[in-house]
């Protein structure tokens, strides 16, 4: 079973898509890249849910390095499922480059209708 790394940040209506994905499929671990507001207001409790809090106003390299630090040694597989339906381009770039620097293959996933789709 694979881990999911997803951005849960800005973008009108994007939380619904990401949370649908989180609830639909059983992932070994779910790592949500969030801001402080999301961490405080997200009402989702799962044993395998981990939040990585970043500041979108930081430089991309700082966000990337924080993600690397939080994920280092925690993902046991060679690939992760990734969802960037929510968030900014800056956050997306930081997530993708962090996963690449960790040597992980990425499988982009999204929810279309009622189905989880690999993009």
Beta strand ranges found along the chain (DSSP E): 3-8, 30-34, 49-53, 79-83, 105-112, 115-118
**What is the number of alpha carbons within 13 Å of residue 116 lying toward its C-beta?**
17
Note the pLDDT tens digit of each residue in 65-111.
Answer: 999 999 999 999 999 999 999 999 999 999 999 999 999 999 999 98
Q: Collapsing DSSP states into helix, strand and coil, what is residue 3? A: strand
Please provide residue 47's backbone torsions phi and psi, each rounded to the nearest 5 degrees. -60, -35
Domain boundaries, the chain: 3-103
Q: For residue 47, what pLDDT is reported?
A: 87
Rounded-to-integer distance, Cα 14 and Cα 84, Å: 9
Q: For residue 64, what pLDDT is reported?
A: 98
Residue 47 is given by DSSP the state T
* 15 vs 87 pLDDT, higher one: 87
* Class level of CATH domain 3-103: alpha beta
Q: For residue 25, what pLDDT is reported?
A: 66
Note the pLDDT tens digit of each residue in 40-50.
Answer: 888 888 889 99
């Amino acid at each position: 079973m694979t881990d999911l790394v997803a951005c849960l940040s800005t973008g009108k209506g994007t939380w619904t898509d990401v949370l649908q994905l989180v609830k639909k499929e059983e992932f070994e671990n779910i790592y949500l890249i969030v801001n402080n507001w999301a961490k405080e207001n997200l009402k989702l409790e799962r044993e395998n849910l981990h939040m990585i809090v970043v500041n979108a106003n930081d430089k991309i390299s700082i966000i990337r390095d924080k993600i690397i630090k939080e994920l280092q040694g925690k993902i046991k597989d060679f690939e992760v499922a990734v969802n960037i339906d929510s968030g900014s381009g800056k956050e997306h770039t930081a997530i993708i480059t962090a996963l690449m620097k960790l040597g992980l293959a990425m499988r982009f996933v999204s929810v279309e209708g009622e189905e989880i789709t690999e993009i």
